[in-house]
Structures are given as C-alpha cells and as structure tokens.
Amino acid sequence: MSVNADRLLLFGATGDLAQRMLLPSLCALDADGLLEPDLKIVGTARSEMTTREYRDWARAALEKNLPDHRRSGVATFLNRLSYVPVDATTLDGYDELAKEVGTYDKGLAIFLSTAPSLFEPTIDGLVHAGLTEGNVRIGLEKPLGTDLASSEEINNAVAKAFSEDRIFRIDHYLGKETVQNLLALRFANLLFEPVWNATYIDHVQITVAETIGLESRVAYYDDSGALRDMVQNHMLQLLALVAMEPPTSFDSTAVRDEKVKVLRALRPIAKGETVTGQYRAGAVDGAAVPGYDEELGKPSDTETFVALKAHVDNWRWKGVPFYLRTGKRLPERVTEIVIQFRCIPHSIFEGRGASTKPNRLVIGIQPEENVQLSMMAKVPGLDREGIRLRQVPLDIAMPDAFSGTVRRIAYERLLLDLIEGDQTLFVRRDEVEAQWEWIDAIRALWEHEEIAPKPYGAGSWGPSAAIALAERDGVTWHDE
C-alpha cells in the first residue's frame, strides 16, 4: 500500500489550470484536514518570482476562484507553498529545485501541468536532479499526444524514469462524483446489473455539450478538434465505465483491466456512423455569438462537433448501439448518459386503452448531478374508458440526497489520490493507446472519405445529419 507523499511538486504552477483548479483544490483539501500536516507544496514555472511573490499571486488566485465559504483556510494553506523558477527546456535550475524540495521520507508526488512538448525535457531535468529516485510518482495532465504515435513517444519518455505503477495519467472526468457514482450504481445495487446487457437495453447515449466557443484555447483547440479534445478521453472513459464487466474488486488493476477490455472491443467506425460539424454564427442563451472561423480569425476545417454510432463487440453488448455526441456552441451545457431500455415484451394494458413506454435511466454528470429513472405508473382517479398510464420519473438529485455534504471539484479527488498513491481513477498506458487506435482510425476514415465538417448554427444541437444518424434507427437524441 502506498504511503502519503510528504512533498508535492507542481510544474506549471503559474498557469491557468493551477489558478482555476489546482490551487483551489489543494486549499480546500487543506481546510478540510485531508492533507498531512507535513505536506510541503513546491511550485515551479518559467515566471521569475520569489516564494513571497508566488504566495501573493496564489492568494489572488484563491480569492478569485474559491467560493466565499471555503476561503477561511487560505492563510494557513499559503504557508505550505514555496516557489522556484525553472525553465523546463534546460537543466538550469533543477538543482535549486531539488534543494527546495528537500528530503521526502514518505514520498514525492509530481504533477506536470505543462504542454506535452515539455514532458520529455522535464523528465530529463528531474533525472538530472535526482528527483525520480525512491518513492516518487508523477501525474500527467492531458493531452497525451495528438495520435497514437505521439502518445507512445510521450509515454516512452516518461517510462525512462518512472515505472507504470508510478505514472498517474489524469482524465479529470474520472474525478467527478457522478462518474464515480456510476460504479456504485452498477455494482452496489442488485437492481441494475441483471438487466445491464443487450437483452434488456436498446441503446445508450452519451452527450457532452458545451455552450462556450474557443475562449482562451484558440491555438490548442484548432490543432485538436472535438474528436481528440473530448471523444478520445472523456467520452471513451464514460463509455468504458458504462460497458465494463464487474471487476473482481475496487482497486486500480481490476477496474482498469475491465475498461481496457471494452476499449479493445470497440468496432471500427464505418462511413455512415460518423458526423462532424463546425459552428457558424448564431445565438446561445439569447446572445449573438460569432462563428468558429470568425473567433479563430481565419478559415479552418477543424471540427467543433462530432456524433458517432459506436458498437462494443462482446457478448454483453452485441447489437447495442452507443450514440456519442459532443460539441461547442450547443444550446445548453450538459454531460449525461442515457440508458434506454427495450419495450416490455407484452402489454396487458393495451385492451384497456393504455399504452406503455420503455424505461429510461438518465445519469446527469454536469451541471447538475442526478440520477433519473423513468417508470410507468397509473394515473390516479377513475376513467370509464379504462386505465390510464403515464411515465413518471424516480429522481435522485445528489445535492438533495446528500445535503450538507461538501460539493467538490474533480481535481480535489485526483490530487488527493496522487498524493496518496491510489491509481484507480487514473488512466493506464494500454487504455490510452487503445483509445488512440480507435480515434486514429476515425480520422483516417474522414481523410479517406473526404468527410468535412458540416455547418451548424450556434445554439443548435449540431448538423441535421447528427439527428439523422440516430433517427435512421428510430432513436431520438435525449432532449431533442
């Protein structure tokens, strides 16, 4: 069993992710007594700052990004911080960084929140300074490459200094409460698992919709696109959690073994199973917004929307389509999983003037965390024509069900697991490579078949072809 690290080293400590997520998460963990008293946090980046100046910068970031009720421990948390400027592209400064880190009797956790191009020189610098020896583990922020080849290059560079059991690849969706609750829903209740298969489930929908456009991610997003930015990591991880077999235990090896089996069972996408789009000018939340090219400032063929019809070719899921949909400038911000069950085989109510609808399980991940199961029920009252039925929801709103519980952001869970050495919610190398193999095949298909992004108006649910993708099978996207 891993021992909690007594040192945390943050690369990219002055970046946007550190400002919005990492420092607020660590401060919240500290305020709740979840960090060991002797944990020292060392930040490093190219910016020339002293420790005092960095603490002032961190205080401003925390005051901006922490809610009022979670700011009480800021002063105490800042005392944990120190800072050493390092240019990751050279070996200069790493010896000073090692001196600041000092001895780590229990262990050192390193978090790389930098561009992937800096991973290899950073690893070289850590080796040079002796900061890979002993109980040291490393967390890697995405993106881990732009295709299988570049991903392998990154993984090979990291593997020169760290064994797989010391590498923590981050997909922040796995830190979300409702994503973790999916495992509890499936494997802590007898109700669902017996019907969680092709015999009873008609199809599955996974939607990750954003209302925002490019914002501050212009350069990265235009090189990436929706397929690599969202489908390759977040959506495939959600699909794997939905489709995986029950693991033998809730530990990192067992859980990730089952996810890999799902990813390797994904059937290659065919031409008629993919739709790609790019938003044009329109309106979102009642406000006019420009098109993608206008935001970018130049023409581009990068996709901002993807819809896919995927299949998991194994005994449990053979014949069950998984419809994936993600895009920017859509009507609402929502991430959800829809499990659509099949119709009952025979209705005893048809002769009494009542019709039935199949059950549907909706797992809301964001912005609201909830689980809703649609059931058929009799409408109260008397009716001369027979019995009346209506579909009603059994609705569990997680904030209401667990009132008084602190609502945490995903990075709190992931940073704590990195410090404690628990890999369960992190992505293993074979998972990453299986994901990239599937994604690379889709991009090759687009290129070979000359499939270009179709225009869609901002504020719509994407190109009409995405609706047709599902409607051809008699399926309607949830909330369409």
Which of the residues are catalytic?
234
Alpha-carbon distance 408 to 402, whole Å?
Answer: 13
Please answer whether residues 333 and 210 qualify as being in contact, where contact means their C-beta atoms are separated by less than 8 angstroms: yes
Which of 359, 317, 377 lies closest to 191 in space, CA to CA? 359
Please answer whether residues 398 and 369 qualify as being in contact, where contact means their C-beta atoms are separated by less than 8 angstroms: yes
Q: What type of residue is 65? A: N
- DSSP codes of every residue in 244-295: PPPPSSSSHHHHHHHHHHHHHTBPPPPGGGEEEEEEESEEETTEEE--HHHH
Provide the CA 257 distance to its chain's centre, in angstroms: 19
Alpha-carbon distance 392 to 461, whole Å?
Answer: 26
Beta-bridge partners for 393: 374
Residues with Cβ within 8 Å of residue 400, at least 6 apart in sequence? none
Provide the CA 475 distance to its chain's centre, in angstroms: 26
Structure tokens at 52: 């005092």
Where is 391: in which H helix or E strand? strand 389-397
Q: How far is CA 360 from CA 63, 279, 394, in A?
A: 42, 30, 10
Alpha-carbon distance 379 to 382, whole Å?
Answer: 9
Task: Say which DSSP state 343 is in.
Answer: P
Residues with Cβ within 8 Å of residue 96, at least 6 apart in sequence? 84, 86
Alpha-carbon distance 132 to 98, whole Å?
Answer: 11
Alpha-carbon distance 93 to 86, whole Å?
Answer: 5
Strands 201-209 and 334-341, by their bridges, are antiparallel
